[in-house]
A and B are shown apart, each in its own frame.
Chain A
Amino acid sequence: MTALGYNFGYLDENTKRMIRRALLKAVAIPGHQVPFGAREMPLPYGWGTGGIAVTASVIGADDRLKVIDQGADDTTNAVSIRRFFAKVAGVETTERTGEATIIQTRHRIPEIALREGQVLVYQVPMPEPLFRLEPRVSETKRMHALADYGLMHVKLYEDIARHGHVAISYNYPVLVGGRYLMSPSPIPAFDNPKMDRMPALQLFGAGREKRIYAVPPYTSVRSLDFEDHPFRPVRADAPCALCGSRESYLDEVVVDDRGGRMFVCSDTDYCSTRQATREAAE
C-alpha cells in the first residue's frame, strides 16, 4: 500500500513527465547533461534528491528497489531512501544486487556484474566534470559543445608532472561514447571500468545542480589517460578481513584507539553473500 495523500512515487505527474522527457533526451545524447526542474524533496540537497527524483520517475509497482550508500545497504541514507519508496510507491525492496530491478546508489557500483533489465541510478553531487577548472557554466557549456577538453588533459598532465601519477582516486573523469566528458559521480576510480559497456542502463541525477545525464547500455566509457600513463584503478593492497576477497573494493575501518584498523568490502551484499557461501562450504 502506498501512503495516502501522496501520488504514486511522491512526485506529481507533471514533474514526472518533465523528468521523463529529460531522461529520454539524456539517453539519446550519452553523457550530455540535461537540465531539469528539481522539486523540493522531504530531505535536503546532498542526501540524494537528484537520484530520488530519477528513481521516482522511473519506478513502477512491479519494480524491486535496492539502495546503497558507499556500497552499504544498512547506512542511514540507504535505509531512509529505501523506506521512502516502500512508503510512497509501495514497492518491494531488497538488499540483493541480483534481485533488484532498480538500484539507486551513492558513490559505488555493486561488485557483481549488472545485467540487462536493471537500471542503476546514481546520486550526483556535482555533475560538471570541469567545475574545478572552470567555474563559469557558460564556459563549460561551450567547452562541451566544442568537445574542448584540453583543460582536463592539462590537469592530468600536471598531476603526473608533480606526483608521478594522476592524483585522482575518485570522481575520475570519463569520456562517454567518445564524445562527452562526464563526471562518474564520486565513485572510486576502481569502479570506472565497470561503467564501460555495462549491460544495465545508467542514469544520473543531480538535485542541487538540477542536471540529469545517462549512459545507455553497451556504451564506451573511457577513463581519461595518456599512452605512457595508462589509467590504473586503485585498490587497497589487502584481502577483505571478513570474506577474504582480493577483487572487491575495500573500506578501511578504524577498530580501536591504538592504531588498529582493518579492510572490509565496501559492498555489504557482496561480502555477506561470500561469507554465507564460505560458511555453507565448511
Chain B
Amino acid sequence: MSGLTPGFADPVPAAQACFRALLEAMARPGRVHRLAGLPEAPAPLAPAAAAMLLTLADAETPLWTDAGPVAEEWLRFHAGCPLVAEPGAASFLLAACGMPELAALEAGTEEEPHRSATLVLQVAGLERGAGWRLTGPGIETEHLLEVEGLPRGFLAAWAANGARFPRGVDLVLCTGDRLAALPRTTRIEEAG
C-alpha cells in the first residue's frame, strides 16, 4: 500500500467534470477533449483514462486491464472495481499496451445492446487532423481525427464492430490528459 498515489483531489466535482467531457465526447465523436483536475495515476495509466475509470467504474463493473500490478492495485483501491482476467467478461477495458480483439469483447444482445463493453484505449497521439474522416450521429458533416499508435487492421475491426449495430463495443481513446470517443455508430474513412 505504501506507493499508492491519490485519486481525485475533490471527487464529486472532478467526476462531474470528467463525465461531462465524456458525455460531450460520446455525443460528438472524434472531438478531442482536454480534462482538468486529473488524478496522479501510476504509469502506464494515462491520466485521462484513469480519471474516466474513477468516474464510471465501481463494484458493479468488472474491469479488465493490461496495465500491470501497480495500476491494478490503484484502480482496485480508488474505483473499487473487480478485476477480471477474461476480456469478454469485462464491462470496462483499459488497454495500455496493445488492443484486445474487438470481436472478443461483450457486445450486448440485440434486445439489450447497452450491456456492451466500453474499451478505453491508450494511444500515442490524438489530434484533430487529417488522418481519419468520421461521420455518423453526433457529427454535423464530418470530423477529422488523427490517431497515432493503433494496431494494424484497426479500421477493418472497427467496421466489423459497426456492422453488427445495435450490438457493438464503444471506444474511448486517451492520451495524457486528452480523450476522444468513438461510439459504435461512428463510421471511419481514411482521409486521403
Contact of A32 among B26, B114, B139 (CB under 8 A): B114
In the complex, the answer to whether A24 meets B138 with C-beta atoms within 8 Å is no
Binds B, one of A127-135, A212-220, A256-264: A212-220
Query: Least Cβ distance of B37 to chain A in Å?
Result: 12
Q: How far is the CA of A215 from the CA of B16 in the complex (A)?
A: 21
Instruction: Report chain B residues within 8 Å CB of A13.
Output: 11-12, 15
Chain A residue, CB-CB nearest to B140: A218
Chain B residue, CB-CB nearest to A141: B111
Chain A residue, CB-CB nearest to B138: A216
The B-contacting residues of A in range 219-234, CB under 8 angstroms, are 219
Chain A residue, CB-CB nearest to B57: A17
Binds A, one of B17-25, B41-49, B70-78, B125-133: B17-25
In the complex, the answer to whether A8 meets B16 with C-beta atoms within 8 Å is yes
Instruction: Report chain B residues within 8 Å CB of A25.
Output: 114, 116, 170
B166 within 8 A of A: yes
In the complex, the answer to whether A145 meets B137 with C-beta atoms within 8 Å is no
Q: How far is the CA of A217 from the CA of B17 in the complex (A)?
A: 20
B154 within 8 A of A: no
In the complex, the answer to whether B185 meets A30 with C-beta atoms within 8 Å is yes
In the complex, the answer to whether B137 meets A216 with C-beta atoms within 8 Å is yes
Instruction: Report chain A residues within 8 Å CB of B56.
Output: 17, 20-21, 24
In the complex, the answer to whether A218 meets B170 with C-beta atoms within 8 Å is no
Chain B's interface size range is: 35 or more
Chain A residue, CB-CB nearest to B186: A28
Instruction: Report chain A residues within 8 Å CB of B15.
Output: 13, 16-17
Q: How far is the CA of A180 from the CA of B113 in the complex (A)?
A: 12
The A-contacting residues of B in range 18-72, CB under 8 angstroms, are 19-20, 22-24, 26-28, 55-58, 60-61
A154 within 8 A of B: no
B118 within 8 A of A: yes
In the complex, the answer to whether B170 meets A28 with C-beta atoms within 8 Å is yes
In the complex, the answer to whether B27 meets A216 with C-beta atoms within 8 Å is yes
B183 within 8 A of A: yes
In the complex, the answer to whether A20 meets B19 with C-beta atoms within 8 Å is yes
B178 within 8 A of A: no
Q: How far is the CA of A227 from the CA of B23 in the complex (A)?
A: 36
Interface string of B136-169 (1 = CB under 8 A from A): 0111100000000000000000000000011000
Chain B residue, CB-CB nearest to A197: B140
In the complex, the answer to whether B27 meets A29 with C-beta atoms within 8 Å is no
In the complex, the answer to whether A28 meets B183 with C-beta atoms within 8 Å is yes
Interface residues on chain A, number (Cβ under 8 Å): 44
Chain A residue, CB-CB nearest to B17: A60
In the complex, the answer to whether B23 meets A58 with C-beta atoms within 8 Å is yes
Query: Least Cβ distance of B135 to chain A in Å?
Result: 10
In the complex, the answer to whether A18 meets B60 with C-beta atoms within 8 Å is yes
In the complex, the answer to whether B166 meets A29 with C-beta atoms within 8 Å is yes
Asked if A29 meets B19 with Cβ closer than 8 Å, knowing A17-B55, A177-B185, A216-B27, the reply is no
Asked if A24 meets B137 with Cβ closer than 8 Å, knowing A8-B16, A17-B55, A34-B114, the reply is no
A124 within 8 A of B: no
In the complex, the answer to whether A218 meets B138 with C-beta atoms within 8 Å is yes
Query: Least Cβ distance of B66 to chain A in Å?
Result: 22
Interface string of A1-33 (1 = CB under 8 A from B): 000000111000110111011111111111010
Q: How far is the CA of A35 from the CA of B138 in the complex (A)?
A: 22
Chain A residue, CB-CB nearest to B183: A28
Chain B residue, CB-CB nearest to A146: B110
Query: Least Cβ distance of B96 to chain A in Å?
Result: 21
A61 within 8 A of B: yes
Query: Least Cβ distance of A113 to chain B in Å?
Result: 14
Can you list 16 contacts pairing A with B, beta carbon distance less than 8 Å?
A13-B11, A13-B12, A16-B19, A20-B55, A26-B114, A27-B27, A27-B183, A29-B184, A32-B166, A60-B20, A177-B185, A179-B166, A201-B27, A217-B140, A218-B140, A219-B138
A27-B138, A58-B19, A58-B23 given; 13 more Cβ-contact pairs under 8 Å? A13-B12, A16-B16, A17-B56, A20-B56, A32-B166, A34-B114, A58-B20, A60-B16, A141-B111, A177-B185, A179-B166, A216-B137, A219-B138
Binding site for A on B (CB under 8 A): 11-13, 15-17, 19-20, 22-24, 26-28, 55-58, 60-61, 109-114, 116, 118, 137-140, 165-166, 170, 183-185
